[in-house]
Amino acid sequence: MVTDLDFIFSDMVKRSKRSAIREILKLTQQPEIISFAGGLPAPESFPIDDLKEIVNQVLYNDGAAALQYDATEGLKELRETLVKKYQDEDVTCNINNLIITTASQQGLDLLGRVFLNKGDKVICGLPSYLGGISAFMSYGAQMVGVPLDDKGMRADALESRLKELKAKNEKPKFIYIIPDFQNPAGITMPKERRQQIINLALEYDVLIVEDSPYREIRFEGDHQPMMYQMDTTGHVITLGTFSKIVAPGFRIGWVLADPKVLDKMVVSKQSADLCTPTFVQKIAAKYLQSPQFHKNLKQTINLYHKRRDIMLEGFRRFMPEEVSWTEPEGGLFLFVTLPEYMNAEELFFKAVEKKVAYVIGQVFYADGSGKNTLRLNFSFVNEEKNREGVKRLAEVIKEEIVRHKKNQLQKSAL
């Protein structure tokens, strides 16, 4: 091995950090630990039998083409099927507005390649998806955080940030938003707020990246229009994925955008992987066209709805009044806020001792705040472990509250 390896590494690699969530998951692999940490779909939701049949059909009817290279833009059949799906939802688009990526995480990385230079500003929510933050920061982006309320990114705070940047003669490259069942907060942005943010993007001439991996996983409430659907100027770029509605092992995502943006993303993708696996794309296209897709998606939604309700029931029953949490209308996560004096990272190791795990909320805050927050995933564990895990977590939190009160009494007695 060369002696000056650190010198040889690129600046991008030096900026990149291991995923905090992936590192946490290593600590939760013990079978006795109930883990709410990973953003994992339920294995029970995977359509294994349906896919077995489709795989055989693809190999029998189209085996040679399925095992060959295909266009970097993605398999035409899959792109056409996805476009039709959007058109059926009254979204104006055509095949030139959509490319396939190797999961939506590649879409985030390609956005970094296409748009970001070192020092460029990207606006994101406080909190926001760690995978997006990491992808953008690896290209040298400086994240500008905007706080959320119960309707998502605050439009007034966004306007203030945009004014501040303009006064410094700085223009952010884009605004990164997860409007449906936001990761990690679980919040859904209503139509009125979406429009306010689109209006600000138009006023300040800034792109919006709409990350939409959970949109179809709605349990209750009204579907909100996509920001891409509401925009008529090409300012919105939307990312989608099969990871939460079929299976993450597919590693298939897509980007919906103006053709000028997609052209640059295709060029960047060509140097990354040439094309997303053709075999999997053909399977995905056939499955998406089948009635089994909608049937299985409905079953998945019902399963996650039940598991969310069980988690919320446990929170209402066991959590102390000092703790608050979001109650998502869909998706995979809810977000917990502890008393301000608590540190979720310190609490994590005590929770692991009680055989329960979560993700520390601070990793989702680009400005380093959120030390008293944590994220829980309700989709992965079964109903029995769900109840028991919430009970264990509540016990850890209650013990910490008691410990804090004792310390306060001791200090006041001095």
Tell me whether residue 206 is in a domain. Answer: yes
Q: Is the pLDDT of residue 15 over 80?
A: no
122 vs 136: CA distance, rounded Å: 8
pLDDT recorded at residue 348: 94
Which residue type is seen at 142? Q
Do 82 and 194 reside in the same domain of the chain? yes
158 vs 162: CA distance, rounded Å: 6
| CATH code for the domain in which residue 35 is found | 3.90.1150.10
Q: Is the pLDDT of residue 26 over 70?
A: no
Who's near 117: CB < 8 A, 6+ residues apart? Answer: 139, 140
Do 205 and 329 reside in the same domain of the chain? no
pTM over 0.85: yes
Residue that terminates a domain, selected from 228, 261, 290: 290
% of the chain residues with pLDDT over 90:
89
pLDDT recorded at residue 22: 58
Tell me whether residue 362 is in a domain. Answer: yes
pLDDT recorded at residue 55: 97
345 vs 326: CA distance, rounded Å: 20
208 vs 303: CA distance, rounded Å: 32
380 vs 40: CA distance, rounded Å: 6
Tell me whether residue 241 is in a domain. Answer: yes
Q: Is the pLDDT of residue 170 over 90?
A: yes
Do 41 and 70 reside in the same domain of the chain? no
Q: Which residue has the higher pLDDT, 62 or 25?
A: 62
412 vs 414: CA distance, rounded Å: 5
- Name the band, by pLDDT with cuts 50, 70 and 90, for residue 29: low
- Name the band, by pLDDT with cuts 50, 70 and 90, for residue 280: very high
Do 149 and 41 reside in the same domain of the chain? no
pLDDT recorded at residue 5: 76
- Name the band, by pLDDT with cuts 50, 70 and 90, for residue 318: very high
Q: Is the pLDDT of residue 3 over 60?
A: yes
Do 306 and 277 reside in the same domain of the chain? no
Number of domains making up the chain = 2
Q: Per-residue pLDDT averaged across 366-394, rounded?
A: 97
Q: Is the pLDDT of residue 20 over 90?
A: no
Half-sphere exposure of 276 (CA within 13 A, CB side): 29
Sign of the torsion formed by the C-alpha atoms of 141, 121, 134 and 276? negative
Do 73 and 127 reside in the same domain of the chain? yes
- As a whole number of Å, the CA-based R_g of the chain is 22
Q: Which residues pair with 255 in a beta bridge?
A: 99, 239
Do 29 and 134 reside in the same domain of the chain? no
- Name the band, by pLDDT with cuts 50, 70 and 90, for residue 4: confident
Tell me whether residue 51 is in a domain. Answer: no
Tell me whether residue 29 is in a domain. Answer: yes
Domain that holds residue 276: 62-290
